[in-house]
């Protein structure tokens, strides 16, 4: 097949009406396009003032210390991989989101919120590299997180992240696995591993174990072979370990990425409660 | 305007009450700014329990010396200019002979002074660095995108203070006393603007570094 024949599809470019430098391809996402139709100026102002109206010490320190020097730019992989486009610099992301929200005192339109959501959700990975490069050590990602929270409270979230968060709200794991299916997956992997190692066990709800292992939700769902591999390693290494059967076993905390504080807290609390219920002394998570 | 500045009453004003106002606003304002930020931080329960003194000092140390951190080493030109600018900006006014004389005449106190020729060179360095920063704001697209009017005004305040001081010392361009009055006036504007604007970064530097240094210590890595 001749690869040269495949034409790269030229997508329509849109220019931001607030910032002429901000030119991006038009990408349709129901999470952004549909949800901004429900927004009203009052609602937007109320949410923005609730989150950043009374500036907390961290927001204050960041906004009032930043000297607009642009030294954080080189840290950002988005900036470097987009030919040093000024609009991808970490400080430019602050300039296009929170500085405007503060300067306009929350009086922005729905289109601006959509643009903010696009910047903070799809053009920043919250990796903290910019903080390592900033001479003042300003936590730019904290600001990005605050803007994500504003977008979350307004319901303007990329659809995929929104659905993932719904899964967490309902089942405390990101792939809609029920407790039955989860236990079933663990027992099945124990069966699968049994022919290879003598007395192979995946201990479930063993009290007083040294290590409790919380997998990622993708492991029982699609990467199930990880479970018996980890179990084999634990067994051969002679670790006194266990897994947990109750909900609150998924260690991936996706609600953190949209700053849904309630669900974030439920997940972490679930892990710690399961650990203390089983009196395990160490938590091991899949990274 | 020219007559207004030439008037001896103007000298009495900038040399008398305005100096007091400037220093009171500078000192009291700075203390207030730092204290209010720390008080605000105490309200957020997640800040003070995580402050790690050792990591804070390490972080400040690595960023306050030239080429002490990764980003300083990656950008030698900016690093050199920034450090020259800030060192000259802070130390020239404090250790200048004529400033010291003013302190001695008023309060009878004095401390070490810089040789006049070195002070002159340091002043020129500040002026050149100001021009460099201004050109960078105009021609670097990344920095240009985030430049607001205050950023240019900060540079202008520094530039005018040091430039008028330099011209007054050499008695160029305008008559000496007029240049001197302007120099004093701009110096007072600079002192007043430190606590009132983002120039507070000279104090907030230590606080923000304390937070980020402690954060990175928590993540078992370093932020320099």
Residue-level pLDDT at A5: 57
Give yes or no: residues A189 and A71 share one domain: no
Q: What pLDDT digit, counting tens, does each position of A47-87 carry? A: 999 998 888 899 999 999 999 999 999 999 999 999 999 99
DSSP state of A204: B
Q: Are B211 and A137 within 8 A, CB to CB? A: yes
Q: Is residue B125 part of a domain?
A: yes
CATH number at residue A78: 1.10.1060
Distance from CA of A138 to the nearest CA of B (A): 6
Q: What pLDDT digit, counting tens, does each position of A142-151 carry? A: 999 999 999 9
Q: Is residue A162 part of a domain?
A: no
Answer yes or no: is pLDDT of A98 > 50: yes
Q: What pLDDT digit, counting tens, does each position of A236-266 carry? A: 999 999 999 998 899 888 899 999 999 999 9
**pLDDT beneath 50, residues of chain B:** none
Q: Are A92 and B145 within 8 A, CB to CB? A: yes
Residue-level pLDDT at A9: 63
pLDDT band at A1 (very low <50, low <70, confident <90, very high): very low
Answer yes or no: is pLDDT of A193 > 80: yes
Which of A139, A98, A90 lies closest to A115, judged by CA? A98
Give yes or no: residues A139 and A7 share one domain: yes
Answer yes or no: is pLDDT of A132 > 80: yes
To the nearest whole percent, how much of chain A has pLDDT over 70? 97
Q: What pLDDT digit, counting tens, does each position of A203-227 carry? A: 999 999 999 999 998 899 888 899 9
Q: Are A57 and B41 within 8 A, CB to CB? A: yes
Give yes or no: residues A17 and A148 share one domain: yes
ipTM above 0.95, yes or no: no
Q: Is residue A168 part of a domain?
A: no
Rounded CA-CA distance B72/B173 in Å is: 38
Q: Is residue B10 part of a domain?
A: no
Question: What residue in A sits closest to B204 (Cα-Cα)?
Answer: A65
The number of domains in chain A is 2
Residue-level pLDDT at A4: 56
Q: Is residue B216 part of a domain?
A: no
The number of domains in chain B is 1
Torsion of the alpha carbons at A243, A244, A245 and A246, rounded to the nearest 10 = -170
Give yes or no: residues A14 and A119 share one domain: yes
Crossing angle for the helix pair B149-170 and B76-95, nearest 10 degrees? Answer: 50
Handedness of CA A107, A112, A118, A124 (dihedral sign): negative
Classified as helix, coil or strand, A222 is coil
What are the chain B neighbours of A64 within 8 Å (beta carbons)?
Answer: 198, 200-201, 204
Distance from CA of B165 to the nearest CA of A (A): 25
Give yes or no: residues A136 and A188 share one domain: no
Range(s) of the domain holding residue A245: 173-285
Mean residue pLDDT of chain A comes to 90
Residue-level pLDDT at A11: 73
Range(s) of the domain holding residue B105: 67-193
């Amino acid at each position: 097949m001749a690869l040269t024949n495949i034409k790269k599809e030229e997508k329509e470019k849109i220019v931001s009406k607030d910032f002429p430098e901000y030119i991006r391809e038009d990408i349709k996402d129901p999470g952004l396009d549909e949800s901004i139709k429900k927004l009203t100026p009052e609602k937007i102002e109320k949410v923005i003032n609730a989150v950043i109206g009374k500036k907390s010490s961290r927001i204050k320190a960041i906004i009032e210390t930043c000297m607009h020097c642009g030294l954080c730019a080189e840290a950002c992989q988005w900036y470097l991989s987009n030919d040093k486009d000024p609009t991808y610099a970490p400080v430019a992301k602050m300039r296009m989101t929170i500085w405007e929200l503060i300067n306009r005192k929350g009086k922005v339109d729905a289109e601006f919120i959509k643009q903010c959501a696009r910047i903070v959700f799809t053009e920043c990975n919250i990796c903290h590299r910019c903080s390592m490069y900033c001479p003042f050590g300003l936590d730019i990602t904290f600001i990005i997180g605050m803007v994500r929270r504003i977008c979350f409270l307004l319901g303007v979230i990329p659809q995929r992240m929104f659905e993932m968060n719904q899964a967490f709200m309902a089942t405390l794991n990101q792939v809609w696995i029920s407790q039955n299916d989860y236990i079933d997956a663990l027992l099945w992997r124990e069966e699968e591993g049994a022919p290879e190692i003598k007395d192979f066990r995946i201990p479930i709800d063993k009290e007083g174990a040294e290590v409790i292992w919380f997998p990622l939700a993708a492991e029982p769902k699609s990467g199930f072979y990880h479970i018996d591999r980890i179990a084999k390693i634990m067994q051969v290494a002679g670790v006194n370990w266990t897994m947990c059967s109750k909900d609150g076993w998924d260690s991936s905390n996706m609600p953190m990425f949209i700053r849904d504080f309630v669900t974030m807290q439920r997940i972490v609390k679930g892990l710690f409660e399961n650990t203390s219920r089983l009196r395990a002394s160490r938590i091991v998570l899949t990274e | 305007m020219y007559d207004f500045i030439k008037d001896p009453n103007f000298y009495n004003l900038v040399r008398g009450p305005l100096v007091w106002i400037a220093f009171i606003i500078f000192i009291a304002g700075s203390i207030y700014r730092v204290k209010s930020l720390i008080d605000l931080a105490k309200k957020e329960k997640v800040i003070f329990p995580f402050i790690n003194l050792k990591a804070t000092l390490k972080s400040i140390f690595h960023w306050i010396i030239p080429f002490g951190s990764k980003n300083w080493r990656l950008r030698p030109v900016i690093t050199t200019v920034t450090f020259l600018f800030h060192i000259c900006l802070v130390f020239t006014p404090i250790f200048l002979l004529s400033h010291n004389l003013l302190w001695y005449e008023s309060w009878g106190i004095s401390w070490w002074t810089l040789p006049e020729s070195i002070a002159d060179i340091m002043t020129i360095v500040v002026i050149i660095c100001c021009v460099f920063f201004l050109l960078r704001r105009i021609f670097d697209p990344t920095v240009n995108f985030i430049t607001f009017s205050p950023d240019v005004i900060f540079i202008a305040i520094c530039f005018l203070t040091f430039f008028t001081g330099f011209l007054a010392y050499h008695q160029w361009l305008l008559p000496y006393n007029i240049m001197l009055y302007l120099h004093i006036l701009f110096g007072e504007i600079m002192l007043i603007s430190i606590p009132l604007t983002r120039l507070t970064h000279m104090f907030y530097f230590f606080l923000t570094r304390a937070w980020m240094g402690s954060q990175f210590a928590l993540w078992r890595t370093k932020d320099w």
